Amino acid sequence: MIGDFMLWLEETGSTQNILKEFSFPYGTVVVANRQWEGRGRFGRKWHSEEGGLYFSFLLRAEDFKELLPLPLVVGYGVLLQIERKGFKPMLKWVNDVYVSGKKVCGVLVERSKEKVVVGVGINLNQKEFPSDLMATSLYMLRNEVFEKKDFLLETLEILDRVLEEFKNFGFEKFRPAIRQRLMFLGEEVVVYSQEPVVGIFEDIDQEGSLLLRTAQGLLKFNAGKVSLRGSKIF
């Protein structure tokens, strides 16, 4: 089970690196109170000041028939936990959770051979962010402090259940619930792959890929090196 073995550090470069560089049993969770080199996708910086919840866990690639939808499924697990606390979160395809238009969680999946390292950053109790970030924390949204250890254990319990279902039944099982909580669904968006493409975010398919209705027809983007923006901020 995820979290049977856990390492809780006061500070580290990135919890991702600990699991990548050392040998731990599958399911191990590494948590840090602060990271000095927290990262997001494409090597972007992940602000990891005191107050946030930063953890990574180790999965085995061969346990999964499909890995592409993993960020979406993990994001959905975190979203369920945030919903349980009474918020109305949305999933921003493919790896982010937003509340009230601001980002509260990001998921990073990195693979090296059989190891799949999943990193989750949740903005829990931070009191502020740089204004250019479009970020918020659960504390800032409700003026309530969340107990980090409890929040982590509850989240891991949900992730364990969700990932077990993903292993056994695949992404299809999650598609309806995820679709209901997708940001920008049915709206005009810009998808950044090689070059920006504008279209209507029509749906996600059985692999979690984004289907974009454009003047050239229906285009499909898988999670790879693709970013999504609402066209209003374009």
Contacting residues toward ligand ATP, per CB under 6 A: 40-42, 44-47, 52, 95-96, 103, 106, 121, 123, 133, 135, 227-228
| 112-171 binders of ligand BTN (CB under 6 A) | 119-121
Q: Could you tell me how many residues make up the chain?
A: 234
* Residue 31 in the binding site for ligand BTN (CB under 6 A): no
CB 109 within 8 A of CB 70: yes
- Choose the one of ligand BTN, ligand ATP, none that binds residue 133, judging by a C-beta under 5 to 8 angstroms depending on kind: ligand ATP
CB 221 within 8 A of CB 209: yes
* Residue 54 in the binding site for ligand BTN (CB under 6 A): yes
Q: Which residues contact 128 (CB under 8 A, 6 or more apart)?
A: 140
The residue among 110, 90, 99, 87 whose CA lies nearest residue 40 is: 110
Between strands 53-60 and 102-112, the pairing is unpaired
- Choose the one of ligand ATP, ligand BTN, none that binds residue 135, judging by a C-beta under 5 to 8 angstroms depending on kind: ligand ATP
- Closest CB 181 distance from ligand BTN, rounded Å: 17
- Closest CB 163 distance from ligand ATP, rounded Å: 20
What is the Cα–Cα distance from 51 to 137, expressed in whole angstroms? Answer: 9
Which spans of this chain sit near ligand BTN (rule: CB under 6 A)?
14-16, 35, 38-41, 46, 54-56, 95-96, 106-108, 119-121
